[in-house]
Structure 1
Amino acid sequence: MFIPSIEYLIFLSPAFLLMAWAQWRIKSTYANALKVPAKMTGAEAARSILDAAGLQSVDIEPVHGHLSDHYDPSHRVLRLSEQVYFDRTAASVGIAAHEAGHALQHAQNYGPLVIRNLAVPAAQFGPMWFLVFFFLGMFIPQFGVPLMLVGIAGYGAVAVFQLINLPVEFDASNRAKRLLSEMGIVDSYGSDAVASVLNAAAWTYVAATLQSILIVVYYLLRVLGTGGRDD
């Protein structure tokens, strides 16, 4: 009863459909933005943004992988996928500027980012916590409901992390769009292409958040609705 079933898939279908649409949008907008030239490579754009903010100490490195771009706050390093690092396109400077936005958030102790970083361990261990306690509840009937609720709380930590992450990602994208335009790295056409890519990417975070919330709600309904009995 508690193993994912057709009912589970139907319950989570809004999140699945939204994620599929967002992934399609990213693929489409990214392909279009690759055709729009920019004055700088992704690495050069990120370097310009960081230097303008006085963050010369933040390094930029190329890494393997497609769209494997990220900012590493522990080492203060911006890691850009090779295509983003080397290409002179609106897609590359948009993604690079978004990651540079995270470095700016870190330097400025941006509140939601600080909270998100504190919540990372809970998000990492939440799914395992959920599995352990939920299935313990299934096999120890006398403590079934309390154990299952403890497990669901573990997955709830993932949902909370995703909610906190939304303003962090939206802010980084808004910074990227504004700075690329203000610094003249992209023209109006390039600005539109950057906005399309980053707006599409934002929907993947929304879909991930919706999915984690629906998972929590689904299992809460199953546990509280049956008293934890598999009947």
Structure 2
Amino acid sequence: MYFMPFDSSMMILIPAIIFTMYAQSKVKTTFNKYLRMPTKKGYTGYDVARTLLDQNDLRNVPIEMARGHLSDHYDPRGRVLRLSNEVYRGSSVASISVAAHEVGHAIQHARGYVPLTFRNAIFPVASFGSSAAWFFIMAGFLISGFEVLLDVGILLYAAAVLFQVVTLPVEFNASSRALRLLDANGFISRDEYKPSQKVLKAAALTYVAAMAAAVAQLLRFIVLRNRRN
């Protein structure tokens, strides 16, 4: 009965769910709005990314085009920067802001930014924990005498929550680096500074929402565990 849709513990998740929906809507509308705002200099996301990478002695980091919408990311294992089509080819405020943000991650990686190093180190455990936790928690509820599995599941899920928490400073730092680099190199004008800032803030909001949702789910698991005991 603990996993029925109308279980009272679901109330813990509702604020986080609403916040997540808002964050997703915010990043989509903000990105689309400034995707239609061309920069005065006309540099594409690829131009900006390549210039900033080379400027920071990262000439060995290739830039590839990624499939999908808002699929931009830096791959620390392959040391590759991947940009979606609208960012790679686009010359809008949104395009160059996202490109610079991903370069920020590449710079973090190259300079051994501690939160990123820690996040990469716990990723395997967090990835396993986020999926395996549900098995242990369900088993703990369904199998009489094996309530200890609940604690194992909660600990595993806590690792996934920790990953989300550590992600916040990583993302905020990459965005602040991006804004400084865009401004210092003249990629954005004075009028384009705030729009670029809005794009980066909207993107960061999704990570705040993800962390809030993860924390809320962890609290729900703890409540259910205590109720079972």
Fold shared per TM-score above 0.5: yes
User: What TM-score comes out, normalization by structure 1 length?
Assistant: 0.94
Query: Which of residues 161, 181, 192 is equivalent to 1:159?
Result: 161
Q: Is 1:191 aligned to 2:193, yes or no?
A: yes
Report the counterpart of residue 35 of structure 2 in structure 1: 34
2:120 and 2:61 mapped to 1: Cα distance?
A: 18
For normalisation by structure 2, the TM-score amounts to 0.95
- Does residue 219 of the first structure (1) align with residue 217 of the second (2)? no
Q: 1:57 aligns with which of 60, 67, 81?
A: 60
The alignment partner of 2:57 has SS state of: coil
Q: In structure 2, which of residues 87, 94, 99 is the aligned counterpart of residue 91 of structure 1?
A: 94
In structure 2, the partner of 1:24 is 25
Alpha-carbon distance, 1:31 to partner:
2.0
Pairing 1:52-201 to 2, within 5 Å after superposition: 52-144=55-147, 146-201=148-203
Q: For 2:186, what is the secondary structure of its paired residue?
A: coil
Separation (CA, whole Å) in 2 of partners of 1:60 and 1:143: 50
Deviation larger for 148-157 or 130-139: 130-139
Number of aligned pairs?
Answer: 226
Deviation beyond 3 Å, 4+ runs, structure 1: none
Give the partner amino acid of 1:32. K
CA-based RMSD: 1.2
- Map of 2:2 onto structure 1: 2
Q: Identity over aligned residues, as a percent?
A: 42
Counterpart Cα distance in 1 of 2:103 and 2:164 = 21
- Contact 1:71–1:77 (Cα < 8 Å) also in 2: yes
The separation in 2 between residues aligned to 1:156 and 1:165, in whole angstroms, is: 14
User: What residue identity is the alignment partner of 1:105?
Assistant: Q
Determine helix, strand or coil for the equivalent of 2:91: coil
- Aligned-pair CA distance for 1:211: 0.7
Deviation of 1:54 after TM superposition, in Å, equals 1.0
1:45 maps onto 2:48 in alignment: yes
Deviations 1:186-225 (A, max 9, x none): 1122221111111011111011101111111111111113
Find the aligned partners of 1:169 and 1:153 in 2 and give their Cα distance.
25
